[in-house]
Structure 1
Amino acid sequence: MTQKSTNVLLLIGMIGVLTLGSSLVADLMQVFSGEKGIYWTHTEMPLSLKETGNTFQIFIGEKSLQEHLAGKTFFAADGELVPYPVASKDVTVRINNWPLVKARILTKTTCTGFAFGVNLTLLITGLVQTCLQRKKKADNHPRG
C-alpha cells in the first residue's frame, strides 16, 4: 500500500488564498462599489463648528466663519425678513466619514494583499512541485 503525501506548500497556499482572498475581495468591493452615504454624522447629533475645525474651515470674504460669528458680522433674516446676528450655537455641521473609513479599509487591504500574494506564491510553488513529483513517479514506473 502506498501512502500519498500532501505537499505542505500547496495546502498552506490553498488555505491562505481562500481565506485571505475572500477577505481581500470583500474589502475591495466595499471600497469601490459599497454604500458611501451611510457614514455621515447622524442628523440628530450634528457637530458644532468648533468640533470640526480640524476637518474643514469656511471663509466668507477674507474672514473665517468663526471670526464672523464671534464678531457678530454674520446675519440671517427671520420670517419677516428682520436681520439678526447668527450665533455660534445656530451653526451645526454634519461630516461624511467615508474618507476615513475608506483609508482604514485600504490600509488593511495593503497587508491582506501582501499576505495573499505570499500565499498565492506558495500555492503555485506547491502545484509545480506536485506536478514535477507526479511526472517523476510516472517516469520511474516502467509501463508494461
Structure 2
Amino acid sequence: MQKIYLLTIMAALASVAVSQLPADVEKYHRACLDESKVSDDELKQFFQNGMRASDATENIKCHNKCMMQKMGIFKDGVFDADAKMKELMQNPSMKGHEAEIKQALNDCKNEKGANECDTSFKITMCLKDFSKPQHA
C-alpha cells in the first residue's frame, strides 16, 4: 500500500503519459512542455525507462520544476511540503497514511541542486527513492 500512495505523490509531482493526466494537470503539463522545451515523447521515454536520474535532461528537470510551480508546491526554489501534504490529504486513498507521507515529504523537502530545475528534480527523485522497499 505504501508504494501505491507514494507513487501517487510521484504522479502528482512529475508528469506521466498525457492520457493518464487529470484535466488541470494536463493543462499544466501542456504549458510546461512549451516552457521547458521538452517533447512528450522524451518525457514518456524517461518514465518508461524507470525515471533514472542519469537519463534526465535539463529540459526534463525544468518540466518537473514548471509542474511543481503550477501546482503551487514549488516557489522561489523552495518545495512547500505543507501545501503538498494538504493537497494529498484531500485524496481519500491517502487517509490513514499521513505519518508516512509527512515523513517522505519532510525527508525530501530540503534537497538542493545546482539550480531550481535541478533542485525540484532532486526532490522528486528523493520521493521516488523513498517509495522503494527499504522504506516500506
Q: So what's the TM-score if we normalise by structure 2? A: 0.21
* Greater fraction helix: 2
Choose between structure 1 and 2: higher strand proportion.
1
Q: RCO greater where, 1 or 2, for CA within 8 Å and sep 6 or more?
A: 1
With normalisation by structure 1, the TM-score equals: 0.20
